[in-house]
């Protein structure tokens, strides 16, 4: 198994145990945990220094079907998204099943594609930074800023 595949396996295992990770997305490094992991969300809130109600975390999805399990996506919009925008770095806001709204992004990186094949569920994600500061994308700065948290950092 290649070192990248090994890293993806470790990330999936850590997430499945309720962990919070810092991992690459198609735009920036993201702070992520499994959808439905309330403890992980609380840890992300503490790391970010803001409550999810102040500014909700987006959901990274591995497929349009994964998104449809959470959000109401019409056939017309589904066709448009999959033809022109997804997979990609576009985030779209939908009505959430059960009420409210949810922001979804169907990313397109090797890391995310492989990870979603293992975890088979969406990821809450947000940029790696504390609330009100610029997102971080430098390994040393991320480690020095977030190394004190019990968070796995996966750099590719």
pLDDT in tens, 95-110: 999 999 999 999 888 9
Q: What is the pLDDT of residue 143?
A: 82
Show the low-confidence residues of the chain (pLDDT under 50): none
CA–CA separation, 128 vs 130, rounded Å?
7
Domain boundaries, the chain: 3-153
pTM assigned to the model: 0.90
Q: Where are the alpha helices (DSSP H) in 17-56?
A: 38-48
3-state DSSP assignment of residue 21: strand
Q: What is the DSSP string of 48-114?
A: HTS-TTTSPPEEE-SSHHHHHTTEE--HHHHHHIIIIISSSS-EEEEEETTSSEEEEE----HHHHH
Q: What is the edge-to-edge ordering of all strands in the sheet holding 71-72?
A: 71-72, 91-96, 101-105, 58-60, 123-127, 29-34, 21-24, 152-153
Q: What is the pLDDT of residue 1?
A: 56
What's the CATH number for 3-153?
A: 3.90.870.10
Q: What is the pLDDT of residue 153?
A: 63
């Amino acid at each position: 198994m290649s070192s990248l595949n090994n890293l993806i396996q470790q990330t999936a295992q850590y997430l499945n145990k309720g962990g919070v990770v810092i991992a690459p997305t198609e735009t920036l490094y993201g702070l992520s945990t499994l959808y439905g992991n309330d403890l992980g969300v609380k840890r992300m809130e503490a790391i970010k220094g803001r409550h999810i109600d102040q500014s909700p975390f987006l959901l990274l999805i591995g497929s349009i079907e994964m998104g449809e399990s959470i959000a109401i996506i019409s056939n017309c919009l589904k066709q448009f998204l999959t033809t022109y925008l997804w997979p990609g770095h576009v985030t779209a806001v939908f009505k959430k099943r059960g009420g409210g709204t949810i922001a979804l992004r169907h990313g397109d990186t090797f890391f995310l594609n492989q990870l979603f094949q293992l975890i088979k569920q969406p990821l809450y994600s947000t940029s790696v930074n504390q609330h009100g500061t610029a997102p971080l994308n430098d390994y040393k700065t991320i480690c020095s800023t977030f190394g004190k948290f019990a968070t796995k950092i996966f750099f590719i």
